[in-house]
Amino acid sequence: MNKMTTEEILAKDEHLIQSFANLDALKQQGARTAIVAAKGAYVTDSDGNELIDGIGGLWCVNVGHGRSEIIDAIAKQLQTLDYYSTFYNFTHPAAAELSAKLASLAPGHLNHVHFSNSGSVANDSAIRMLHHYNNRLGRPEKKKILSRVGAYHGSTHLAMAMTTPAYSDGWDTAADGLVHHLRSPYAYREAGEMTEAEFLEALADDMLANIHNIGAENIAAFIAEPIMGAGGILVAPDGYHKRMRQITTDHDIKYIADEVVTAFGRLGHIFASEDVFGMVPDVINTAKGLTSGYQPLAATIISDEIYEVISGPDAMFLHGMTYSGHPAAAAAALANIDLLESEQIPQRVQTTGKVFENALRGLADLDIIGDVRGSHFMMGMEFVKDKATKETYADEVNIGLRIAQETQKRGLIARPLGNILILSPTLIMDEAMIGQIEGILRESIAAVTATLPA
Ligand SMILES: Cc1ncc(COP(=O)(O)O)c(C=O)c1O
């Protein structure tokens, strides 16, 4: 299959609907890139260009591409047991072992794991479980969900309803009235003249006002990414997650940490909630780095307390997907976690991730960079027409896309998001590669800047 020419691939690709893409713009020649091979921190396109995978697949290929340890574990698992479900009274060794491993890695009393196939479904699963939990506790009104402007939680109907409304522009969301979006912790555009501490207070007040208006007795959960990813790499003020955890605890609202991106090393730890942000949620959802993308797998990890209620007398767990805990996916996750542990990848990220972060922060001197933000291997930069006023370029300028096109010409895949460019590479970058990324970004931004009207 990989012997096809670019033209042959793209001709057949007309039948493929790309996700989160401007389908009309993709009809133009040269708008699509076919990736045909990958190794380590690099991918190869159908014209034979080797590119640094600056977005780690889709912030998921944490241990790097082409790791034979994972590939062999998948093959071995398929040869032994290709498929069996985790439905009814059935289980299998790979799913059992992985659930025990995740329970041992997750913080606090998060000891029970439900598997699904994507982060979106993991988030939906958490909500379905918490709704059922409240039904079993005899409080069927306690169903509403607090999310945040700027959040990304996936694209099933419910996950999209919890995502920031901008992501469903022109599309419907099924859960109208169920989800309330709190104020975004987008300091660069929301904090104004406030100090970080004042901004934290403002966000906490907003949370409290929403709880007051909706009524804690009607709210099941607050869902939050430790650092917002697809919303534009938004880092909440220091102490935010601890503070929100306290407020949710005080009001008997469950805290769901959406660690689909932040877990498995991206911020230097297996899970970020406790190790980076100092708090233990009631539920952690994860996917992506769980298998480093080698197989589709997600996990919803819930506390003993929630599990006790939903597994009490006569409890029927009416939820699950055919491929929940698929043997090949579970085997991939186990091999991936083995690599993360034996090669101490999260620990290495504590150093290399900081080098990456500092390298990108160093670009802030460029005229059109208004903000560089993020942490370790989860970084974003926001482009502005005017640093002082933070005025943005008009949509037609397509500033992020143009810069991403320039970086790709120079050997780096980066992800544009309007006026923002996101970098979330594999976690195996060394200092030389980081220097190369910095150089490509600097040159590409300069090249685009030169074409912009003064
Ligand atoms: C924080 C977060 N949650 C959930 C999802 C959805 O995961 P998936 O695309 O696997 O459904 C994503 C995907 O990017 C994500 O970044």
Rounded to whole angstroms, the Cα distance separating 446 from 45 reads: 25
Dist. CA 153 → ligand 1 center (Å): 5
Residue 62 tokens, joined: 């944490």
Q: Confidence band (pLDDT; 50, 70, 90) for 392?
A: very high
From 18, 120, 127, 162, mutation site for ligand 1 pocket: most ligand atoms within 8 A of C-beta = 120
Query: How far is the centre of ligand 1, averaged over its atoms, from the C-alpha of 274 (Å)?
Result: 20
pLDDT at 176 (0 to 100): 76
What spacing in Å lies between the alpha carbon of 288 and ligand 1's midpoint?
A: 8
pLDDT per residue as tens digits for the range 60-81: 999 999 999 999 999 999 999 9
Answer for the pair 332, 74: CB distance below 8 angstroms, yes or no: yes
CA 454 to ligand 1 centroid distance, Å: 38
pLDDT at 364: 98
User: pLDDT category, 453, cuts 50, 70, 90?
Assistant: confident
Helix (H) or strand (E) holding 116, with range, is: strand 110-116
Per residue in 132-190, pLDDT (tens digit) is: 999 999 999 999 999 999 999 999 999 999 999 999 999 998 887 999 999 999 999 99
* Strands 369-375 vs 283-286: parallel, antiparallel or unpaired: unpaired
The crossing angle, in degrees rounded to 10, of helices 431-451 and 345-361 is 30
pLDDT tens track for 118-145: 999 999 999 999 999 999 999 999 999 9
pLDDT over threshold 90, residue 454: no
Write down the pLDDT at residue 440: 98
Average of pLDDT values for 241-252? 98
Please say if the pLDDT value at position 416 is more than 90: yes
Q: Which atom of ligand 1 is nearest to the CA of 120?
A: 11
Q: What is the mean pLDDT of residues 2-19?
A: 92
* Ligand 1 atom nearest to CA at 288: 10
Q: Which H or E run contains 225?
A: none
Rounded Cα distance, 331 and 95, in Å: 8
CA of 45 to the centre of ligand 1 (A): 25
Q: Considering just the CA atoms, what is the radius of gyration of the chain in Å?
A: 22
Q: What does the DSSP assignment read for 6-49?
A: HHHHHHHHTT---TTS-TTGGGSTT----EEEEEBTEEEETTS-
Mean pLDDT of 7-34: 94
262 CA: nearest ligand 1 atom: 1
Tell me what the pLDDT averaged over the chain comes to.
97
Q: Quick one: average pLDDT of 34-59?
A: 98
Tell me, in angstroms, the distance from the centre of ligand 1 to residue 149's CA: 16
Predicted TM-score of the model (pTM): 0.98
Using most ligand atoms within 8 A of CB, pick from 127, 260, 291 the residue to mutate for ligand 1: 260
Which of 61, 62, 148, 153 has most ligand 1 atoms within 8 Å of CB, for mutation? 153
Query: pLDDT for 440-452, tens place per residue?
Result: 999 999 999 999 9
Is residue 311 scored above 80 in pLDDT? yes
Q: Domains of the chain by range and CATH?
A: 68-342 (3.40.640.10)
Q: Beta strands 144-148 and 179-182: pairing type?
A: parallel
Best of 288, 290, 294 for a ligand 1 pocket test (most atoms within 8 Å of beta carbon): 288
Note the pLDDT tens digit of each residue in 329-375: 999 999 999 999 999 999 999 999 999 999 999 999 999 999 999 99
**What was the pLDDT predicted at 3?**
84
DSSP bridge pairs for 423: 379
Atom of ligand 1 nearest to the CA of 225: 1
pLDDT at 175: 80
Residue 94: per-residue pLDDT:
98
Give the residue whose CA is nearest to atom 13 of ligand 1.
154
Whether 1 shows a pLDDT value over 70: the answer reads no
Mean pLDDT of 27-35: 93
Ligand 1 atom closest to the Cα of residue 58 is: 14
Taking CB atoms and a 6 Å cutoff, what residues make up the pocket around ligand 1? 118-120, 123, 152-154, 225, 229-230, 258, 260-261, 287
pLDDT for residue 91: 98
* Banded model confidence at residue 223, pLDDT cuts 50, 70, 90: very high
Per-residue model confidence as pLDDT tens digits over 84-94: 999 999 999 99
Position 2 pLDDT exceeds 60 = no
User: What is the mean pLDDT of the segment spanning 249-272?
Assistant: 98
